[in-house]
Amino acid sequence: MLNRKEAEQLLEEGRRSNEGPWIPHSQYVALAAEAIAKATKSLDPDRAYVLGLLHDIGKSDPTAQNRHPLLGYDFMIERGESEIAQISLTHPYALKDFHETIGYSSYSEKENLRIEQLLASFSYTDYDLLIQLCDGLAIPEGIVLLEKRLFDVHLRHGFNDYTLQRWKRLIEIKKHFEKLIGFSLYDLFPESVGLTFSHDF
Ligand SMILES: [Fe+2]
């Protein structure tokens, strides 16, 4: 798998082709994933960092918008990076259900089918779960309370029939990692308190 430096270079290329808040968001997902992995003692912090940094790499394409998980998957497969490709596709699908996402309607029918088949073919690892969780903790300014970030996403994109189930699943994933580390994951991110209660967000 790509090392940290190679992953940072790839994100830098992404910044050059499509500068946006997804760059600092990806950097915070990487830092959060690394910190949690380090605290578990069973997961590899460097691997977690690289996967976090590149989970949204599909957004390097300025036309990607909500098609970025599949574009990111193809982009990383072309480079022979199947694990990063998997994370790129699985990060919005905590329920492993193609229908759970909101505002992802810009795929063609053929692409919908591909995503369904790919999701069915994957076995989720702790790394898939870790990036799903960290994607739910990181805003472009830093790490915040999971509930705050979820609220923000749904204020912008609305709800669907899967929203409640998704929230429950993400809380379950958070508990899974807290069980592994033995304390509240927010203890790893003391700055999240100030950011969560900041008047700016
Ligand atoms: Fe993301």
Residue 108 pLDDT: 86
For the chain, which ranges sit under pLDDT 50?
none
Centre of ligand 1 from the C-alpha of residue 140, in Å: 10
pLDDT for position 169: 98
d(CA 127, CA 55): 11
Domains of the chain, CATH where assigned: 4-196 (1.10.3210)
CA 56 / ligand 1 centre spacing (Å)? 5
Quote the pLDDT of residue 201.
66
**Helix or strand or coil: residue 143?**
strand
DSSP state of 105: T
| Whole-number pLDDT of residue 187 | 98
Residues 161/117, Cβ–Cβ less than 8 Å: no
What's the rounded Cα separation, in Å, for the pair 191 and 177?
Answer: 19
Contact present, 91 and 55 (Cβ < 8 Å): yes
What pLDDT, on a 0 to 100 scale, did the predictor assign at position 161?
93
DSSP type of residue 138: E
Please give the distance, rounded to the nearest whole angstrom, from the Cα atom of residue 22 to the centre of ligand 1: 7
Nearest to 89 by CA among 60, 124, 61, 62: 124
| SS3 state at 133 | helix
Q: Tell me, what amino acid is at 91?
A: H
DSSP 3-state assignment of 141? coil
CA of 192 to the centre of ligand 1 (A): 17
Q: Helix (H, G, I), strand (E, B), or coil: what is residue 172?
A: helix
Alpha carbon of 26 to ligand 1 centroid (Å): 6
